[in-house]
Amino acid sequence: MEEKLLKDHPVERLEDDEGIDVIDLFIVLAKRKGLIAGLTLGAAVVTAVISLLMTPVYRAETTILPPQTNSSQAAQVLGQLGAAPGLLGIAPPSKSTGDLYMELVKSRTVLDHMVDRFGLMDLYKAETREGAIKLLTNRVTTGNNIKSGILTVSVEDTDPVRASSMANALVEELKLFNKGLSVTEAAQRRLFFEEQLKDAKDTLLQSEEAMKAFQEKSGIVKIDAQANAMIQGTSSLRAQIAAKEVEFRVLRTYSTEHNPDVLRIKEELKGMHDQLSRLESKGDGGDVIVHTGDIPKASTEYLSRVRDLKFSETLYELLLGQYQTAKLDEAREASVIQVLEKAVPPENRIKPKRRSMVILASFMALFASILAAFFLEYKENISKDPEHREKVAILRKYLAL
3-state secondary structure 110-147: HHHHHHHHHCHHHHCCCCCHHHHHHHHHHHEEEEECCC
Burial status of residue 326 (CB atoms within 10 A of its CB: 0-12, 13-18, 19 or more): buried
- Among 138, 77, 68, which residue's Cα sits nearest to residue 100? 68
CATH of the domain at 67: 3.30.1890.10
Q: What is the pTM of this model?
A: 0.50
Pair (133, 21) in one structural domain: no
Cα 57 from Cα 135, distance rounded (Å): 14
The domain tally of the chain equals 3
Q: Is residue 347 part of a domain?
A: no
DSSP string, 309-378: HHHHHHHHHHHHHHHHHHHHHHHHT---PEEEE-----SS--B--HHHHHHHHHHHHHHHHHHHHHHHHH
Beta bridge partner(s), residue 142: 153
pLDDT at 235 over 80: no
pLDDT at 35 over 80: yes
pLDDT number for residue 46: 92
Residues 133-160 have a mean pLDDT of 90
Pair (47, 131) in one structural domain: no
Q: Cα–chain-centroid distance for residue 163?
A: 24
Distances (CA, A) of 310 to 103, 136, 196, 208, 303: 52, 63, 17, 10, 10
Pair (113, 189) in one structural domain: no
Q: Is residue 163 part of a domain?
A: yes
pLDDT number for residue 302: 66
The 3-class SS string of 72-120 reads HHHHHHHHHHCCHHHHHCCCCCCCCHHHHHHHHHCCHHHHHHHHHHHCH
Q: Is residue 137 part of a domain?
A: yes
Residues 89-113 have a mean pLDDT of 74
Q: Is residue 346 part of a domain?
A: no
Residues 64-87 have a mean pLDDT of 49
262 versus 302: the higher-pLDDT residue is 262
pLDDT at 184 over 70: no
Pair (357, 287) in one structural domain: no
Q: Which helix (H) or strand (E) holds 64?
A: strand 58-65
pLDDT number for residue 371: 92
Residues 288-303 have a mean pLDDT of 50
Q: Is residue 46 part of a domain?
A: yes
Pair (190, 316) in one structural domain: yes
Pair (393, 279) in one structural domain: no
Pair (263, 316) in one structural domain: yes
- Among 101, 164, 137, which residue's Cα sits nearest to residue 337? 101
Domain that holds residue 228: 185-332
Model confidence at 133, in pLDDT bands (50, 70, 90)? very high
Q: Which helix (H) or strand (E) holds 301?
A: helix 300-332
Pair (272, 297) in one structural domain: yes
SS3 of residue 57 by DSSP:
strand
pLDDT number for residue 223: 54
Which of 301, 332, 363 lies at the terminal end of a domain, its last residue? 332
Distances (CA, A) of 126 to 89, 122, 192, 268, 363: 50, 7, 47, 63, 37
pLDDT at 306 over 80: no
Query: What φ, ψ does residue 154 adopt, rounded to 5°?
Result: -130, 150
Give per-residue pLDDT as tens, 347-400: 888 888 888 889 999 999 999 999 998 888 887 877 777 777 777 777 777 787
Residues 108-116 have a mean pLDDT of 92
The residue count of the chain comes to: 401
> Quick check: 302 and 223 in contact, CB under 8 A?
yes
Pairing of strands 338-341, 58-65: antiparallel
Model confidence at 313, in pLDDT bands (50, 70, 90)? confident
> Where would I find the H helices in 219-286?
225-252, 260-280
Q: Is residue 382 part of a domain?
A: yes
> Quick check: 11 and 27 in contact, CB under 8 A?
yes
Pair (211, 239) in one structural domain: yes
Pair (197, 128) in one structural domain: no
Q: Is residue 264 part of a domain?
A: yes
Q: Is residue 362 part of a domain?
A: yes
pLDDT number for residue 280: 66
Distances (CA, A) of 194 to 186, 188, 246, 279: 12, 10, 11, 31
Pair (207, 135) in one structural domain: no
Pair (238, 363) in one structural domain: no
Beta-carbon neighbour count of residue 252 at 10 Å? 14
Cα 167 from Cα 144, distance rounded (Å): 16
Pairing of strands 140-144, 151-157: antiparallel
Cα 353 from Cα 356, distance rounded (Å): 6
Question: What b/e string do you get for 169-200 counting C-beta neighbours within 10 Å, with b at 16 or more?
Answer: bbbebbbeebeeeeebbbbbbbebbeebbeeb
